[in-house]
Structure 1
Amino acid sequence: MAGENFLQRELGRVLSKYRKLKGFTKEQAVWFLGTSKTIYDSYESGKLQYPEPGILGDWLRDLGAPQAAIDDAKAKAKWIRQGNPANWLEQAPSGFDHFTQIELIAETIFIHEDAFVPGLFQTPAYADAVVATNPNMTAELRRDAVGFRIQRGESLFSRPGGPPQIQAVIAERALTIFRGTDIYEPQVEHLAERNRIEGVEIFVVPSGTSHASNGRSYRIMTFADKKDPDVVYQENLFGSHYEADKERVARCRTLSSATLPVALGLEEWRDTDADR
């Protein structure tokens, strides 16, 4: 919508104004705010479709903006996101906000999941069953976590211009743990639907297959701006973190390269699964 685009550019101008008043170049602001060049540029350029009010407010505060300017910017950011799936960020579990911003602007994502179907590809029933394995989840937190997972996936796959290039490698047991239940067939079909999206490839590693990534779950993300480092992200039911250490990224790339050859394409795996 034209109004939303205008507000995004306006928020970018506000951020630029207080950065310059602080005497910072963009590079200095990135370091000062503890973010990445890709994320910061997406805000200041106005290209980020759904700016997150909390992050924007924190940055403006750190850059010395008055409270009135901070409140106004946060209100505009919230208006942009009204009624859009991207508003799941407001319900995201603690610790996920930085990752979700990176995920939305990634150019490519490689995923290896050893225990469960990746959250981006889960059905509500599958997500609920997985979240229920965390004994620390109250009913309210469980409901919010499931909603977050589902809306996070919808936001990424409905991203303007299409989703990133995604390769997802899933351990077969992540699916077969629910074989014989009402969860299994809908989850497999949901994966098949995602697999038909251009640029999305889903693979399954058959049970009993020995491979380099066995026992590990990780994601590797790259960005259009080659000045930004590749990022490795790891998450589980109890926490999450990401890092841009070159050795760590290289290690995960080696693992992914050694794992893909032993995985079956989703449709090939479905054919073998149907024969059992």
Structure 2
Amino acid sequence: MAKLLNCARSSISRLEHGEAKLEEKQAAVLDEAWSTGNHFSIMVWYARQGHDPTWFKNFTEFEARAERIHNYDGQLIPALFQTPGYARALLEAGRNASLEDDLKKRMARQKILDRNTPPELWVLLSESVIDIPVGGAGVIKEQLAHLLALSRRPSVFLRIVPKSAGAHEGLDGPFKIITVKQGEVGFVEAPNGGRLVLETAEVRGLKLRFDRIGSVALPVESSRRLIEQLMESFT
């Protein structure tokens, strides 16, 4: 199979263990070689249309092994940067039935930031994310102070996309690109779920999208000043 797909045997192993997904071109090669009547191509098409019920488990497993994360968000502070108060306010607003358990799990994910060699975090946030008083003035001020503290870590690169940037590709929704030792995966968020992106070409497209959004973002120091200004506005 590796010979048919012109790849290493380890790549086939990743497919078998669910760490990678069959690409359209690969499916077409297998269909032709094995005369399947387009079976693999049809299955890939259906798989792309459906919601993966295990998306969150798979995502957090990649996140825990991350060497680098690129993250754009236009709605919420990313989970790795959330304070307990901010996270609790979000979970309460979502009428979460297992709030305390989910809060502990969310906070536990942040342990990767304190590893001996933490992942590099490249984060772009829309200004609208940081000017919504989630949890009230006290909670959001604490959250913004936490953002400032994290932004001063050598492994964190935080920039704000100002409202003055106008229309940009980030308005289509939040997404992430996670780099692990074996390669890169993407994650595109959606209401009540999300989708892992394992196809190389699509992940490359997400990275280009991140760079284009970054082209209209404020520099790091200007981003910090904007966060400080917003902190002062909450009383």
Whether TM exceeds 0.5 here: the answer is yes
Secondary structure class of the residue paired with 2:72: strand
Counterparts of 2:14 and 2:180, CA distance in 1 = 16
> Could you tell me which residue of structure 2 aligns to residue 17 of structure 1?
none
Equivalent residue number for residue 195 of structure 1: 151
Q: 2:89 corresponds to which residue? A: 129
Paired AA for residue 141 in structure 2: E
Seen in structure 2, the aligned counterparts of structure 1 residues 195 and 34 have a Cα distance that, compared at 3 Å, is same
Give the counterpart of 2:61 among 94, 97, 101: 101
Do residues 176 (structure 1) and 131 (structure 2) align?
A: yes
| Separation (CA, whole Å) in 2 of partners of 1:245 and 1:198 | 31
Give the % identical residues.
Answer: 23
Q: TM-score with structure 1 length normalisation? A: 0.60
8 Å Cα contact 2:69-2:120 kept in structure 1: yes
Where do 1:1-276 residues align within 5 Å?
A: 29-35=13-19, 95-135=55-95, 137-138=96-97, 141-153=98-110, 155-159=111-115, 161-178=116-133, 181-210=137-166, 211-224=168-181, 228-235=182-189, 238-264=192-218, 265=220, 266-273=223-230
Aligned-pair Cα RMSD in Å:
2.6
Tell me which amino acid in the other structure corresponds to 1:167: W
1:145-185 Cα offsets, whole Å, 9 max, x none, are 222211111x21122x3211111111122121117621111
CA contact (8 A) 2:173 2:189 kept: no
Count of residues in Structure 1 that have an aligned counterpart in Structure 2: 188
Query: How many angstroms apart in 2 are the aligned matches of 1:231 and 1:248?
Result: 9
What is the deviation of 1:94? 6.4
The normalised TM-score by structure 2 is 0.70
Q: Which runs of 5+ in 2 are unaligned?
A: 1-8, 21-52
Are 1:113 and 1:218, in contact at CA under 8 Å, matched by a contact in 2? yes
Amino acid at match of 1:122: Q
Distance 1:250 1:109 in 2: 14
Whole-Å separation in 2 of the counterparts to 1:175 and 1:148: 23
**1:109–1:164: 8 Å Cα contact kept in structure 2?**
yes
* In 1, Cα distance between equivalents of 2:211 and 2:18: 31
Measured against aligned partners, the alpha-carbon deviations of 1:29-73 in whole angstroms (never above 9, x if no partner) come to 44333235xxxxxxxxxxxxxxxxxxxxxxxxxxxxxxxxxxxxx
Gaps of 5+ in 1: 1-24, 37-92
Secondary structure in 2 matching 1:131: helix
User: Retained in 2: the 8 A contact 1:195–1:201?
Assistant: yes
1:236 Cα shift?
Answer: 5.3
Task: Quote the Cα distance in structure 1 between the aligned partners of 2:228 and 2:142.
Answer: 16
- TM-aligned CA distance change 1:101 to 1:145, over 3 Å: same
The whole-number CA distance in structure 1 between the counterparts of 2:56 and 2:216 is: 31
Secondary structure of the corresponding residue to residue 182 of structure 1: helix
- Which SS does the other structure have where 1:263 is aligned? coil
